[in-house]
């Protein structure tokens, strides 16, 4: 590795430009800063486009509105999945990787020029996919299950995007090597960088899986390969499809820790425990491709049970650990700041009007309660029979990816604007309410889709009244109510999304330059807290009754909901 | 702070506080409970997805389905042209999926067990039995065989819940469940 670093260092010009952050004192590499900005801006643009598509989908599902005709619905739904699940999130994650490896390590970025190549590949790939889908011949959904076939450019665009993202991951790894070689930091990498490293390692596995399946599928669409086995495709494709969501989990957990550190001066309760939890992600999260194969013929129950449970729920264990240590870090920081009365003064007096903090905490709670619990239920071999391919599935992953990842990314944006773009956040009142509006809308989307799914409503379905079908079927009236409420929630979420994009774009273009004064007066972001306790795990700092109550409530809800679903299952027709 | 290197250089030797250890223990045990719940249900539960599956060509599967339908069709569903097939209890019954229909309509007897075979002629489809809410993926080239025992009489619909192109939302099939010894020719006579 040393030789690689030397080679990279040898090639790099010595007169790298840096600036010193007035808030944190960290050295920021200008070339890296420009790349962080570019990736973040493109991410937000695709969030706006994909979010608009999502609103159109929800308004079509609302049977009383039924906005789009069928062809359009399936086309827009395909584009929605690609733009938000893939393009928005991966672009933002690349920005996070560059941030965690340069700013947090005081380091320069390895090969900025190659990083621009990666950026261009991803952007070109994303544009090709969008144009191809909107031409109308590739309405194959995000998953593009064969033998259904899209136009060759659909797969080509995805391959280019994946290659670009893979290059970005390796630039991140290269930067870690350079930072260590050049001694830009002391000791081990910070926890946030460790979380980003977890995300990058999972990303390599993810993107390689994607390449393994998308390259032959592309050749198949060109007529060069005669057959793609649908079951094999699903197995490998979900090595990308599900693992890419595990990149999100690692990235947004890292961002939770980042926001706590910057806003509250909080620190992890135990470096060992938090890093151990990330390590569990690296070892076990990738088994989750099985979540999508539980209702499939041709795979044994032994295989399904071992893989769907991440080898006895060891990755769930990782998330449950973060579920204690993240709120625990908030409570510990708040108690150090003097909010020590009762069980919950620390929570009541938290900076709820700081959008970075409120977005982080809402993301934490909703990811755990809505996304986490529903994910485990959905991924249980037998319970999946009641839920497979119903609207429960999008309900679940909107809870993880929208209320979890997207909300966390929105929160950190309010720190990125002053720290990286060096602008003050405009319209503080709008920014203050934005996480609540978006969070409420996204929670509604998740809950009402899960509700409709529990009633059996199919996902990816244009018309649940079956008007044009030869044989009729009526879903219960409650299902229609659920989809109406889903539509209203989508409008609310769209309002929150517009608030986010408006504040972000306006601040970047027209915001007042952020100076040392901005930070010292705590405008938009609270000053870093006092650096008190110096040792971990001492009984004096480790009194966190509020966190224990929260975790207890979570655990109770989890156990109850889990067994209620087994009760429902036991009422179905006997099968075997 | 999580944005700075750990304060203790040798952070991996720090003691872990008891509260954290207790929670890790609880979470680990809960994982074991959930894991063995799935295993346990295979021995004691009545709802498990069958592990019996074969590779089969769509043509072979269609032939078998048609053979069953020819032998046991009891009536036609209204003027839709769909045969309603009432196979003998305990027998092998077939339902095929294709763009955009489930074929044929089955009539089963309550409390009797059948070996239900599912496969697709073309793309992937989703067998979603409503309002019962049993959902199974159907692949072309693979045949799933499972034992089913309908435990209530009534009219059930099979909605396709795997997106299969522009006609996806019109793909609905039916399964009737009748009291033992009823249905079949009797229902045809009643219906006129």
pLDDT in tens, A456-479: 999 999 999 999 999 989 999 999
Instruction: Say whether pLDDT at A3 is over 60.
Output: no
Q: Please check the confidence at residue A306 and state whether its pLDDT lies above 50.
A: yes
Q: Which of A400, A35, A396 is nearest to A250 (CA)?
A: A400
| Maximum pairwise Cα distance, chain A | 73
What's the rounded Cα separation, in Å, for the pair A3 and A8?
8
SS3 letters for A312-354?
A: HHHHHHHHHHHHHHHHHHHHHHHHHCCCCCCCCHHHHCCCCCC
CB distance A207 to A118 below 8 Å: no
The pLDDT score that the predictor gives to residue A230 is: 96
Does a cis peptide bond (omega within 30 degrees of 0) precede residue B183? no
Q: What is the mean pLDDT of residues A21-29?
A: 84
For residue range A382-430, what is the model confidence (pLDDT) as tens digits? 999 999 999 999 999 999 999 999 999 999 999 999 999 999 999 999 9
Contact A301 B51 (CB under 8 A): yes
Q: Region B168-190: what's the mean pLDDT?
A: 82
The residues near B82 (Cβ < 8 Å, ≥ 6 apart) are: A470, A471, B76, B103, B104, B105, B174
Of B16, B159, B170, the CB nearest to A458: B159
- Specify the range with the lowest mean pLDDT, choosing from A93-102, A167-176, A354-363, A532-541: A532-541
DSSP at A141? T
B37-62 mean pLDDT: 97
Per-residue pLDDT at A2 exceeds 70: no
pLDDT per residue as tens digits for the range A220-245: 999 999 999 999 999 999 999 998 88
Task: Note whether A469 contacts B: Cβ–Cβ < 8 A.
Answer: yes
Task: Kindly state whether A74 is in contact with chain B, defined as any CB-CB distance less than 8 angstroms.
Answer: yes
Q: Is A16 left (phi over 0), alpha (psi -120 to 50) or beta?
A: beta
| CB atoms B38 and A295 under 8 Å | no
Q: Å from A373 to nearest chain B CA?
A: 12
pLDDT band of B185, cuts 50, 70, 90: low
**Average model confidence (pLDDT) for chain A?**
92
Query: Across the interface, do B49 and A570 touch by the CB < 8 Å criterion?
Result: no
Give mean pLDDT, residues A434-449. 98
Q: Does B126 sit within 8 Å of A389, measured CB to CB?
A: yes
Q: Residue B160 pairs with which residues in a beta bridge?
A: B127
pLDDT band at A575 (very low <50, low <70, confident <90, very high): very high
pLDDT of residue A516: 77
What is the rounded CA–CA span in Å between residue A241 and residue A288? Answer: 10
Neighbours of A506 (CB within 10 A): 15
pLDDT at residue B72 above 50? yes
Determine the Cα–Cα distance for residues A408 and A419; give it in Å rounded to an integer.
17
For A46-80, the pLDDT digits (tens) are 999 999 999 999 999 999 999 999 999 999 999 99
Contact B51 A300 (CB under 8 A): yes
Is the bond preceding B104 in cis, omega lying within 30 degrees of 0?
yes
Q: Tell me the CA distances in angstroms from A77 to A82, A133, A429, one per residue in order.
A: 9, 10, 33
**Distance, CA of B83 to CA of A447 (rounded, Å):** 40
Angle, helices A407-419/A30-61, rounded to nearest 10 degrees: 150
CB B144 within 8 A of CB B117: yes
| Residue range A73-102: mean pLDDT, rounded | 96
Q: Any residues with CB less than 8 A from the CB of A52 and at least 6 apart, and which? A: A494
Which residues from A are below 8 Å from B140, CB to CB?
Answer: 147, 230
Which tokens sit at A232?
A: 């094999």
A106 touches chain B (CB under 8 A): no
Q: How many Å apart are CA A576 and CA B177, to the nearest integer?
A: 18
Q: What is the pLDDT of residues B90-101, one digit of tens each?
A: 999 999 999 999
pLDDT 10s digits, A514-539: 887 777 665 445 444 334 333 444 33
Q: Which two tokens stand for residue A14?
A: 């010595």
Quote ipTM for the complex. 0.94
> Averaged over B138-143, what is the pLDDT?
97
CA distance A478 to chain B (A): 13
Specify which residues A390 forms β-bridges with: A458
Alpha carbon distance A494, A106 (integer Å): 37
- Closest chain B C-alpha to A201 CA, distance in angstroms: 19
pLDDT recorded at residue A520: 67
A216 in reach of chain B (CB within 8 A): no
B115 near B93, Cβ under 8 Å? yes
Which pLDDT does position A14 carry in this prediction?
Answer: 54
């Amino acid at each position: 590795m040393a030789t690689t670093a030397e080679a990279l260092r040898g090639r790099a010009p010595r007169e790298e430009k840096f600036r010193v952050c007035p808030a944190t004192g960290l050295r920021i590499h200008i070339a890296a800063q420009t790349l962080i900005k570019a990736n973040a801006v493109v991410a937000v643009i695709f969030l706006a486009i994909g979010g608009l598509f999502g609103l159109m989908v929800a308004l079509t599902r609302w049977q009383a509105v039924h906005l789009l005709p069928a062809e359009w619905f399936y086309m827009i739904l395909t584009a929605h999945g690609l733009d938000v699940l893939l393009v928005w999130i991966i672009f933002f994650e690349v920005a996070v990787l560059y941030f965690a490896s340069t700013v947090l390590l005081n380091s320069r970025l390895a090969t900025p020029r190659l990083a621009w190549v990666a950026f261009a590949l991803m952007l070109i790939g994303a544009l090709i996919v969008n144009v191809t889908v909107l031409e109308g011949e590739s309405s194959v959904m995000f998953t593009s299950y064969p033998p259904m076939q899209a136009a060759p450019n659909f797969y080509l665009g995805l391959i280019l995007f994946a290659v670009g993202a893979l290059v970005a991951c390796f630039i991140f790894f290269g930067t870690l090597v350079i930072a260590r070689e050049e001694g830009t930091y002391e000791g081990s990498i910070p926890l946030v960088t460790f979380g980003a490293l977890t995300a990058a390692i999972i990303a390599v596995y993810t993107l390689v899986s994607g390449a393994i399946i998308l390259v032959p599928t592309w050749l198949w669409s060109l007529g060069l390969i005669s057959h793609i086995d649908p079951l094999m495709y699903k197995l490998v494709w979900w090595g990308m499809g599900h693992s890419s969501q595990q990149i999100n989990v690692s990235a947004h957990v890292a961002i939770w820790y980042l926001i706590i550190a910057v806003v509250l001066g909080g620190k992890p309760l135990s470096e060992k425990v938090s890093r151990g939890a990330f390590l569990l992600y690296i070892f076990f999260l990738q088994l989750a491709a099985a979540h999508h194969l539980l209702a499939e013929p041709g795979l044994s129950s032994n295989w399904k049970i071992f893989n769907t449970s991440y080898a006895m729920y060891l990755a769930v264990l990782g998330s449950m650990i973060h579920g204690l240590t993240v709120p625990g870090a908030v409570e510990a920081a708040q108690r150090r700041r003097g909010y020590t009365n009762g069980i919950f003064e620390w929570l009541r007096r938290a900076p709820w009007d700081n959008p970075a903090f409120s977005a982080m905490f809402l993301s934490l709670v909703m990811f755990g309660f809505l996304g986490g619990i529903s994910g485990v239920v959905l991924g249980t071999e037998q319970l999946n029979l009641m839920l497979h391919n119903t609207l429960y599935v999008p309900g679940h992953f909107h809870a993880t990816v929208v209320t979890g990842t997207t909300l966390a990314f929105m929160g950190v944006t309010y720190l990125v604007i002053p720290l990286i773009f060096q602008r003050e956040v405009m319209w503080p009142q709008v920014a203050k309410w934005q996480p609540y509006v978006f969070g409420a809308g996204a929670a509604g989307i998740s809950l009402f889709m899960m509700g409709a799914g529990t009633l059996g409503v199919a996902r990816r379905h244009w018309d649940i009244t079956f008007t044009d079908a030869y044989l009729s079927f009526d879903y219960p009236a409650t299902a229609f109510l659920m989809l109406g409420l889903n539509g209203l929630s989508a409008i609310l979420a769209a309002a929150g999304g517009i608030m986010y994009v408006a504040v972000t774009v306006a601040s970047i273009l027209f915001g007042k330059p952020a100076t040392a004064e901005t930070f010292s007066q705590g405008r938009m972001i609270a000053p870093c807290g006092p650096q008190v306790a110096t040792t971990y795990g001492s009984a004096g700092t480790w009194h966190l009754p509020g966190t224990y109550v929260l975790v207890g409530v979570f655990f109770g809800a989890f156990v109850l909901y889990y067994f209620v679903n087994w009760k429902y299952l036991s009422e179905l027709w006997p099968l075997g | 702070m999580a944005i700075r290197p750990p304060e203790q250089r040798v952070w991996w030797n720090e003691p872990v506080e008891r509260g954290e250890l207790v929670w890790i223990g609880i979470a680990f045990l809960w994982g074991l409970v959930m894991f063995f719940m799935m295993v346990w249900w295979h021995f004691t539960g009545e709802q498990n997805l069958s592990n019996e599956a074969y590779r089969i060509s769509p043509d072979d599967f269609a032939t078998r389905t048609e053979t069953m339908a020819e032998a046991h069709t009891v009536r036609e569903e209204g003027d839709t042209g769909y045969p309603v097939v009432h196979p003998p209890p305990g027998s092998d019954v077939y339902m095929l999926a294709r763009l955009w229909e489930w074929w044929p309509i089955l009539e089963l007897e309550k409390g009797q067990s059948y070996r239900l075979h599912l496969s697709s002629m073309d793309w992937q489809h989703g067998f979603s039995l409503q309002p019962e809410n049993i959902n199974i993926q159907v692949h072309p080239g693979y045949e799933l065989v499972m034992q089913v025992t309908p435990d209530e009489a009534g009219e059930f619909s099979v909605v396709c819940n795997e997106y299969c192109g522009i006609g996806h939302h019109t793909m609905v099939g039916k399964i009737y469940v009748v009291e033992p010894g009823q249905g079949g020719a009797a229902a045809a006579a009643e219906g006129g």
